[in-house]
Structure 1
Amino acid sequence: MNQILIFSGTTEGRKLAEDLCKKGIHCTVCVATEYGEMVMEKREGLRICQGRMTVREMRELIQKENYNAVVDATHPFATVVSDNIRSSMTDCRIPYLRLRRQTRNQVIERIHNSREMQISFYPNSNSCAEALTDTSGKILLTTGSKELAIYSSKPWLKERLIVRVLPGIESINLCYEKGLTGRQIIAMQGPFSVEMNEAIMKQYDISCLVTKESGSAGGFLQKIKAAENLNIKVMVIGNPEPDEGLTQTEVYLELEKLTGVNLFEEEKVEISFIGMGMGNPRLLTKEAEEKLKIADVCFGAERLVNSIPWMKEKHSFYLARDIIPWLKEHRVKQAAVLFSGDTGFYSGSEKLREALKDEAEAENGLKSEVFIYPGISSISYLAARLQTSWQEAEIISIHGRAANVAWAVRANKKTFLLVSGVSDVRTLGSLLMAAGMEEVVISLGYQLSYPEEEIITISPAECLTLEKEGLYACMIVNDKAAERVLTHGMADEMFIRDKVPMTKEEIREISICKLGLAKTSVLYDVGSGTGSIAVECARISEDIQVYAIEKKAEAAKLIKVNRAQFGLTNVSVIQGEAPEAFLNLPFPTHAFIGGSSGNMKEILTAIYRKNPGARIVINVITLETLSEVTELLRTLPVRQEEIVQLQVSKASKAGRYHLMKAENPVYVISFFFKEEGQEKV
């Protein structure tokens, strides 16, 4: 039979005993007081030994039964008890496991987040009591009843004390023995909420809080926060225990090995996705902060995890391929993943959530339950700093992705832009200047929420001079913004043409309609010429990716000029001959073929191999090319083929008259490739 001996007296010890009993592991739990026995929930397989024990009595108890292990879950300030337990186990062959309560760095984190906090640290109660001599007003003493004599023996302190102790007879009797009256005694079981602590401090007109560094399980942080809110001086007696021992998860894993019982079986790991705002923990929601307090581990970018000093177990990675294997190996109960800004605003949270969902459905996969806690996005934070609204702003990002920034700025009075750093800000200045928008106003939020935060208002030209590295967010205001036209349809005169062939305006618009582009299409513009098709298609949506493929150097150079004048970042110019130029490109969802240089069959075959479901539109002028394409339609797997002949005539002035001038007829051929299993429609 598996048996564990637990020296308890803490929340962690009680929970450990409950969890072990649930799994059929018998537990003997030793507590010092009647109150300690009272708060233990009675369970099958649980035996409670109440009363303080000597080293000899501990040794006799350990030797009396065949225990798998001894777990020391006593209070971190009960160092004498821990020493006695270790002494009693001299020459014992069973393992000693110290369940360590995490207390370090929690107050330091609170001080870091508060500029007004009055807090002092002391190595013991004697030094703290001496320091209280220099204070005035009432003192809330929350260090327990054992060291009460240190404070009550000093007459100038005794009458000022309000002591909060456990509602056990032993604790209350000690208070009376030290001469404290009923109005000075608060006998209540904690831990207490921030609100409850505040209410007590207000009711008793407290000027100074004395507490031990007892960790979150003892309600330590709630006391500190309440004192901070009321601007009350705090005196902390530091944890005397060495920073040794095991975390709760590590103790459970050790007990699994010793008993052969899976203590985590059929339990899901709870994973909290937490939006960190700009990165400063002060911007966390209260709900998110509470989840971080109870997490066993947190993951995220290095900048984010380092901003949580109280978290001992933290790792600076955030991708599913790294997080999932770690969780499967270490099997914690509570985990947190930190995301910058808001979890629903250009965040990686969606990809990780999907990956965890797939993992949960896989055989022997990690079972998890995800909870999402949003943060403050950079757009709302910057808008607040600028004292402006953002609901009407166009929101785009060039943080690791391409976007048509100039087009957005030209068409919107306000544009909010996410960037990666100072190099992106300089690129922004160049783009806007090349697009002829030198007069727009750019407001930059630098290191938002951090001490070095700065709001900078500059011009596109001044962007080029920025050198300070760091985190930036941008709001661009264009008072001369033109209303965006929702349809494509650019006049031929808008393009720089030189002597390079160009698909004419009317043919171009019908051809683009036949393409039927979607928001995230990938288009090959084969034989791009001046790039008129590429430019118009790229302007439909910043998410469309266009590859303008042109073999002639002169034409490729001209495409780049036209791309620049419209400020397009989603057009890639590929100088080379098709289909060889397709080699390193992503597969196309659509292709427009304006020129094939005699390689029509090879081009269509290459596109089919890259994507058997692609949509194709071809412009044909000569009858020979028309014959070639129609023959290919008989041999290639296609569906929904359509051939349209267009004859465009434009009026030209001849004196007082307008005469229609005909242009060459053009055949617009469109079709889908037919994927395997599809019938020809």
Structure 2
Amino acid sequence: MSQAQSDVVVVGVGADGWDGLSPAAQRAVRGSKVLMGSQRQLDLVPGDFERIAWPSPLVPALPGLFEKYRDVCVLASGDPMFHGIGTTLVRLLGGRVTVIPHPSSVSLAAARLGWALNEVEVVSLVGRSPDLLRAALTPGRRVLVLGGDPATVAALAGPVTVLEQLGGPDERVYQWSGQVSDPLSVIAIEYGGSAFSRAPGLPDDAYESDGQLTKREVRALSVSTLAPLPGQLLWDVGAGAGSIAIEWARTHPSCRAIAVEQSAERAERIGRNAAALGVPGIEVRTGRAPEALAGLETPDAIFIGGGLTVPGVVQSCWDALPSGGRLVVNAVTLESEAVVAQWYAKVGGDLVRIAVNRGSAVGGFTGWRPHLPVTTWSVTR
């Protein structure tokens, strides 16, 4: 896409302002009739332009702005395609947009710290829950945090380094110890604590539960059978403590889940478990399936862990799956196994029976204590 073909140019600007722009970026700014951006960004650019500061809320106003104006230069922070307005505008306007990036704050932070950027995990907390950081904290891992409060991040991760105003005349890099920090900062973490694996099968005591919890061994098999892929959506129907939805979402930051639970008390508990385990973005729908499934976004996979014998639940889930969608069902009682047997005869799939025995004390010795066997039915539509 060439600049000549587009009437919207998005220019990344650093903390060094106009003087830090490349010649191509300066030409793009000078060649426009209208500048758009935050007031701070608009103040960085000299010249006689019509200047439009972003309204609030921003996204709903964008179609009207770009229908009204042509020959627009949008000013963005750093790399506009890295957690920036550039991605939103390309999605909205397509071929009308040319992007001229500036080094991102993440690139500058990695350069200052001597960290290999390809080995660093980046977490954006801009407008998001700090609990997202929990899933990224693994021993020895280097993490860069955007938009976080140093006090909150330090409470979760331990000692942190703050990098302020990167690339600008007021740049500062320091170990945080309670100072007031500039909003234009990146927080660097070298985590030395303990953490849970992202692989399915977390310890049962990682969850707050009233006993309605898919046990560790069965959970590991269930999530692996659901086969999560980046960007996919799971429905966890009859979610209980939310463990299947949570472990699906923990496999990749872009995996999403909707937990459907009829008990309001358990639904609140799912939210607490999700936050504690680093996936606060899980959506919790309180209601009874199948009615609570109406209007939900089309899933890539569905897990049914509770309510299997309620009329219409399996049929509604089956109907909601797209071609290639995966359904996994766990049955414990004879009645729920009967439902599974009927559907297996109807549409096929795979049946697995899991019997778990855990060692525990028997007097002064060790013996096996069996858990209830679980029948798992899985099928691809």
TM range (shorter): 0.7 to 0.9
The secondary structure found in structure 2 opposite 1:410 is coil
1:305, 1:625 → 2: CA distance?
63
Which of the numbers 341, 347, 372 marks the counterpart of 1:664? 372
Which of the numbers 589, 594, 603 marks the counterpart of 2:313? 603
Q: Contact 1:617 / 1:669 at 8 angstroms: preserved in 2? A: yes
CA 1:620–1:286: 2 relative to 1, 3 Å: same
After TM superposition, give the deviation of residue 471 of structure 1 in Å. 3.6
After TM superposition, give the deviation of residue 579 of structure 1 in Å. 3.2
After TM superposition, give the deviation of residue 668 of structure 1 in Å. 0.6
CA 1:579–1:455: 2 relative to 1, 3 Å: farther
After TM superposition, give the deviation of residue 312 of structure 1 in Å. 1.2
Which whole-Å deviations, capped at 9, do the CAs of 1:16-72 have from their partners, x for residues lacking one?
Answer: xxxxxxxxxxxxxxxxxxxxxxxxxxxxxxxxxxxxxxxxxxxxxxxxxxxxxxxxx
**Equivalent residue runs for 1:450-529 within 5 Å:** 455=173, 457-458=175-176, 462=178, 470-478=183-191, 480-481=192-193, 485=197, 487-497=199-209, 499-529=210-240
Which whole-Å deviations, capped at 9, do the CAs of 1:390-441 have from their partners, x for residues lacking one?
Answer: 523211212245673112123453211122xxxx527x71x764x6x4xx12
**Which residue is 1:631 aligned to?**
342
**Which residue is 1:292 aligned to?**
29
**Which residue is 2:246 aligned to?**
535
Looking at CA atoms only, which structure, 1 or 2, has the larger radius of gyration?
Answer: 1
**Equivalent residue runs for 1:95-494 within 5 Å:** 268-269=5-6, 271-278=8-15, 280-316=17-53, 321-322=63-64, 324-327=66-69, 332=71, 335-357=72-94, 371-384=98-111, 387-391=113-117, 392-400=119-127, 404-419=132-147, 424-425=148-149, 429=152, 433=155, 437=157, 440-446=158-164, 448=166, 455=173, 457-458=175-176, 462=178, 470-478=183-191, 480-481=192-193, 485=197, 487-494=199-206
After TM superposition, give the deviation of residue 293 of structure 1 in Å. 2.2
The secondary structure found in structure 2 opposite 1:404 is helix
After TM superposition, give the deviation of residue 547 of structure 1 in Å. 2.7
Q: Contact 1:524 / 1:592 at 8 angstroms: preserved in 2? A: yes
1:395 partner amino acid: V
**Which residue is 1:644 aligned to?**
352
After TM superposition, give the deviation of residue 377 of structure 1 in Å. 0.7
After TM superposition, give the deviation of residue 274 of structure 1 in Å. 1.7
2:31 partner amino acid: I
Q: Contact 1:299 / 1:323 at 8 angstroms: preserved in 2? A: no
Which whole-Å deviations, capped at 9, do the CAs of 1:180-238 have from their partners, x for residues lacking one?
Answer: xxxxxxxxxxxxxxxxxxxxxxxxxxxxxxxxxxxxxxxxxxxxxxxxxxxxxxxxxxx
The secondary structure found in structure 1 opposite 2:149 is helix
CA 1:602–1:316: 2 relative to 1, 3 Å: farther
CA 1:671–1:302: 2 relative to 1, 3 Å: farther
The secondary structure found in structure 1 opposite 2:213 is coil
1:502 partner amino acid: L
2:302, 2:254 → 1: CA distance?
16
Q: Name which structure has the greater RCO, CA cutoff 8 Å, separation 6+.
A: 2
2:183, 2:320 → 1: CA distance?
41
1:273, 1:558 → 2: CA distance?
43
**Equivalent residue runs for 1:670-681 within 5 Å:** 670-673=378-381
With structure 1 as the length reference, what TM-score do the two structures score?
0.48
1:604 partner amino acid: V
1:469, 1:483 → 2: CA distance?
30
2:313 partner amino acid: I
2:7, 2:271 → 1: CA distance?
51
Q: Structure 2: which 5+ residue stretches go unaligned?
A: none
1:567, 1:353 → 2: CA distance?
30
1:300, 1:345 → 2: CA distance?
16
2:314 partner amino acid: L
1:401, 1:279 → 2: CA distance?
27
1:477, 1:444 → 2: CA distance?
12
CA 1:449–1:585: 2 relative to 1, 3 Å: farther
After TM superposition, give the deviation of residue 655 of structure 1 in Å. 6.2
1:356, 1:555 → 2: CA distance?
43
Q: Contact 1:538 / 1:546 at 8 angstroms: preserved in 2? A: yes
Q: Contact 2:299 / 2:322 at 8 angstroms: preserved in 1? A: no
1:432, 1:575 → 2: CA distance?
34
1:495 partner amino acid: Y
Which whole-Å deviations, capped at 9, do the CAs of 1:638-668 have from their partners, x for residues lacking one?
Answer: 6x62222222233445467654443322111
Percentage identity across aligned positions? 26
CA 1:606–1:398: 2 relative to 1, 3 Å: farther
1:474 partner amino acid: I
Q: Structure 1: which 5+ residue stretches go unaligned?
A: 1-266, 361-367, 674-681
Q: Contact 1:380 / 1:390 at 8 angstroms: preserved in 2? A: no
**Which residue is 1:73 aligned to?**
none
CA 1:449–1:324: 2 relative to 1, 3 Å: same
After TM superposition, give the deviation of residue 562 of structure 1 in Å. 3.1
Q: Contact 1:298 / 1:311 at 8 angstroms: preserved in 2? A: no
The secondary structure found in structure 1 opposite 2:313 is helix
CA 1:596–1:667: 2 relative to 1, 3 Å: same
After TM superposition, give the deviation of residue 338 of structure 1 in Å. 2.4
Alignment RMSD (CA, Å): 3.6
1:583, 1:279 → 2: CA distance?
51
Which whole-Å deviations, capped at 9, do the CAs of 1:326-351 have from their partners, x for residues lacking one?
Answer: 35xx5x5xx43322211332233244
Matched, 1:616 2:330: no
1:279, 1:596 → 2: CA distance?
59
1:417 partner amino acid: V
Q: Contact 2:198 / 2:247 at 8 angstroms: preserved in 1? A: no
After TM superposition, give the deviation of residue 595 of structure 1 in Å. 0.6
Q: How many aligned positions are there?
A: 370
Q: Contact 1:283 / 1:376 at 8 angstroms: preserved in 2? A: no
Q: Contact 2:14 / 2:103 at 8 angstroms: preserved in 1? A: yes
Which whole-Å deviations, capped at 9, do the CAs of 1:566-609 have from their partners, x for residues lacking one?
Answer: 3432334444333344456543322211111742x433344456
1:325 partner amino acid: E
CA 1:542–1:604: 2 relative to 1, 3 Å: same
